[in-house]
Structure 1
Amino acid sequence: MIPHRDGMPHYVDAVAASPWVLAVVFVVAGMDALLPFMPSESTVVACGVAAASTGRPHLALLVTAAAAGAYCGDAISFRIGRRSTSISERLTHRRAQAVHGWVQRLLSSRGGVVVMFARYVPGGRSTTALAAGLVGYPSARFHWYTAAGVLLWSIQAALIGYLGGALFAEHPILGFLLASGMALAVTGLAVLVQSTASRVPAP
């Protein structure tokens, strides 16, 4: 590994300076709503680590790209659910109808918390957005809560990455590992909040 003149490895500086890095953040954050295995949070955290040491990408632009990508992905997933409402209307199996009713009650009573914090649960983001569309959750309400959720998520991920990078400016890998651990702790707390909010008697 060849160190940069200020202690930052060349490869980190090169990636951070790439004009495509924000586009990658946008696409990965958006695709995570449709393909849950996409490393959206890790990507934002890594860019935050780089931003702390190189100044690139700009933190505000990083937050904007991550939030915009996540919002678009959620909106697409919700739209797919909305277009599939005819399927839910034809449900005849008692179990399927019961699940549909449970999701509808959950979102009606605690929709805001569920929509905002589901993105911290593995697979929860895509499932929640799709389910919200399927059960006819109000579109305006979904988009408002989603906007708040993605903004909170992107700021949290970027700042955690930035903090890790600032503490280990000359060792970006250590900074990333620290930031990832912090992000995991935040995720655990968010999962606890979301699971508490989801305590509506299941069918």
Structure 2
Amino acid sequence: MFDVITNWLASMGSLGVALLMFLENVFPPIPSELVMPFAGYLAATGELSFAAVVLLGTIGSVAGATLWYWVGLWANETRLRRFIDAYGKWLTLSNQDLDRALDWFRRHGAAAVFFGRMVPGMRTLISVPAGLTRMPITPFLLYTALGSFLWTTFLALAGYLLRGQFDRVATWMNPVTNALLLLLLAAYLWRVLRGLKRG
């Protein structure tokens, strides 16, 4: 996974940052924790502009979050619960999970959107309850953009400051990310099998 991301960024440049950050929000297995630091490293070597990396990373992240917001807006809670009843076991998602997400969002509102953009595993999910509860689009975009900007800046800055150490990091990051993806796949299969047994 690390090699795929780094090769993509090296060949596509700043536009690749935006596209990967969009995909990271749509397909969470693509981690922003790899995308943005490497983009920051490329900025440190002079191959990319740091400002462009942060700006396009933020734009890609906001675009992906907005897609899920519209899914929540379109689906409405009844339709989403029907979908979970039919396909939830394949997504390892239950109506109880939805209840918890909605309850957390209703208690924290705008703060959930802002801070959710900086929490791994929450970045994608927080947009759906925002849409389901009909949060107005303007504050949603504002808090999403602010949270995404802080997150992408922090990660890009980490890669920028890492500079000379990046080659050393790359040698162990690829096997670590591959192992992590295998663990995620195993956990997913276990949850699916457990859901099928219950059903």
Asked if TM exceeds 0.5, the reply is: yes
Aligned to 2:183: none
Classify the secondary structure of the residue corresponding to 2:134. Answer: coil
Distance 2:130 2:21 in 1: 19
Quote how far apart the aligned CAs of 1:80 are.
1.0
Contact 1:161 1:176 in 2 (8 A): no
CA contact (8 A) 2:118 2:148 kept: no
Matches within 5 A, 1:10-159: 16=10, 18=11, 20-52=12-44, 54-85=45-76, 87=79, 96=95, 103-159=101-157
Higher Rg of the two aligned structures: 1
Q: Please name the residue that 1:181 is paired with.
A: none
Report SS of the residue matched to 2:126: helix
What's the offset of the Cα at 1:158?
A: 0.9
Give the Cα separation in 2 of the matches to 1:138 and 1:103. 18
Q: Deviations over 1:32-67 (max 9, x none)?
A: 111100132311101212222x21201001001100
Under a length normalisation based on structure 2, what TM-score does the superposition of the two structures give?
0.66
Q: Which residue of 2 aligns with 1:201?
A: none
Secondary structure in 2 aligned to 1:126? Answer: coil
Equivalent residue for 1:160? 158
Deviation at 1:138, TM superposition (A): 2.8
- Counterparts in 2 of 1:176 and 1:117: CA distance versus 1, 3 Å: farther
- Residue 89 to residue 51, structure 1, CA distance change in 2 (3 Å): closer
**Which sections of structure 1, spanning at least 5 residues, go unmatched?**
1-11, 178-203
Deviation at 1:121, TM superposition (A): 3.6
Q: Is the 8 A contact 2:40 2:159 kept in 1?
A: yes
Q: How many percent identity over aligned positions?
A: 27
- The offset of 1:107, in angstroms, is 2.3
Confirm or deny: 8 A CA contact 1:164 1:175 kept in the other structure.
no
Cα-to-partner distance string for 1:99-136 (whole Å, 9 max, x where unaligned): 66654443233123322232344431111111221232
Distance in 1 separating the partners of 2:82 and 2:33? 37
Normalised to the residue count of structure 1, the TM-score between the two structures is 0.65
d(CA) in 1 for partners of 2:128, 2:106: 15
Partner of 1:174: 168
Contact 2:66 2:127 in 1 (8 A): yes
Distance in 1 between residues matched to 2:119 and 2:146, nearest whole Å: 17
Structure 2: any 5+ residue segments left out of the alignment? 1-5, 86-93, 172-199
3-state secondary structure, aligned to 2:39 = helix
- For 1:104 and 1:50, the matched residues in 2 are separated by 39
Mean Cα deviation higher: 136-145 or 102-111:
102-111
